[in-house]
């Protein structure tokens, strides 16, 4: 059981009630809002441990909420689980590209939702201070505890997923990892993400790393590695 606060952003009243009941039953505290603008305010006012976010909201939509969160240095480490009826591959890719840490389609199983919330919170806890030591590879410096990446001393703002991909590759330089291995390392087993989604995340990561992206090598027919 946990008393961590979960922020639910959902405009359908019946889904709101189901989410609140499920999460309260799992031992979490719950805040609920049906508007993206208010969600951003509540994040700063109440400091939730995780956000469950619908995409189709009145006013500011879920993707934009996620983008704004992940581009704000003071709250970009907040884990976000997108919960939506939009389940096409391009929708999933767009969600992860916006910075989501997980993506669940409706209708959903309350038990699966609870398991996903627990898994995301567990991964988030692993990134807290002193969880692991810093890693330096060439001009890239990665500090898991602070959720920070610097290139030539300059900070680089990454989404949670981009950070975990970079950290995973840097933890074993020279090793080649398949897209499936990267998905499992970043999101856990039985995760419904395609290889194309990994490619989108790596492309975004390379763009943000600039010249240092040369250290990430594509191994044709296999996956990716960092360094030689």
131: confidence class by pLDDT, cuts 50, 70, 90: very low
Same structural domain for residues 84 and 12? yes
Domain count, the chain: 2
Same structural domain for residues 112 and 139? no
Q: Which domain holds residue 205?
A: 135-226
Least confident of 88-97, 165-174, 199-208: 88-97
Percent pLDDT > 70 in the chain is 91
75: confidence class by pLDDT, cuts 50, 70, 90: confident
Q: What pLDDT is recorded for position 33?
A: 97
Same structural domain for residues 150 and 173? yes
**DSSP string of 9-54, one letter each residue:** E---HHHHHHHHHHHHHTT-EEEEES-HHHHHHHHHHH--SEEEE-
Q: What pLDDT is recorded for position 35?
A: 95
**What is the pTM assigned to this prediction?**
0.66
Q: What pLDDT is recorded for position 130?
A: 40
Q: What pLDDT is recorded for position 190?
A: 57
Q: Of 94, 126, 158, which closes a domain?
A: 126
CATH number at residue 151: 1.10.10.10
- Please say whether the beta carbons of 142 and 166 come within 8 A: yes
Q: Of 126, 150, 185, which closes a domain?
A: 126
Rounded to whole angstroms, the Cα distance separating 80 from 120 reads: 8
Rounded to whole angstroms, the Cα distance separating 145 from 129 reads: 4
Same structural domain for residues 210 and 111? no
Helix (H, G, I), strand (E, B) or coil at 82: strand
């Amino acid at each position: 059981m946990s008393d961590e606060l979960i922020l639910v952003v959902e405009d359908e009243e019946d889904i709101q009630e189901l989410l609140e009941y499920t999460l309260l039953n799992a031992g979490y505290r719950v805040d609920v809002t049906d508007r993206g603008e208010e969600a951003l305010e509540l994040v700063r006012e109440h400091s939730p441990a995780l956000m469950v976010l619908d995409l189709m909201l009145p006013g500011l939509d879920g993707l934009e909420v996620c983008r704004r969160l992940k581009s704000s240095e003071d709250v970009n480490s907040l884990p976000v689980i997108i919960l939506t009826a939009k389940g096409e591959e391009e929708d999933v890719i767009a969600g992860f590209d916006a910075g989501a840490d997980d993506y669940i389609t409706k209708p959903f199983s309350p038990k699966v939702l609870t398991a996903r919330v627990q898994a995301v919170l567990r991964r988030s806890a692993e990134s807290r201070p002193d969880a692991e030591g810093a890693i330096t590879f060439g001009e890239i410096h990665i500090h898991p505890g602070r959720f920070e990446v610097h290139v030539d001393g300059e900070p680089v703002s990454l989404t949670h997923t981009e950070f975990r991909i970079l950290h995973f590759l840097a933890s074993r330089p020279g090793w080649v990892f398949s897209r499936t291995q990267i998905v499992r390392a970043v999101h856990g087993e039985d995760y419904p993400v395609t290889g194309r989604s990994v490619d989108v995340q790596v492309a975004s990561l390379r763009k943000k790393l600039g010249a240092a992206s040369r250290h990430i090598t594509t191994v044709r027919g296999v996956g990716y590695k960092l360094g030689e």
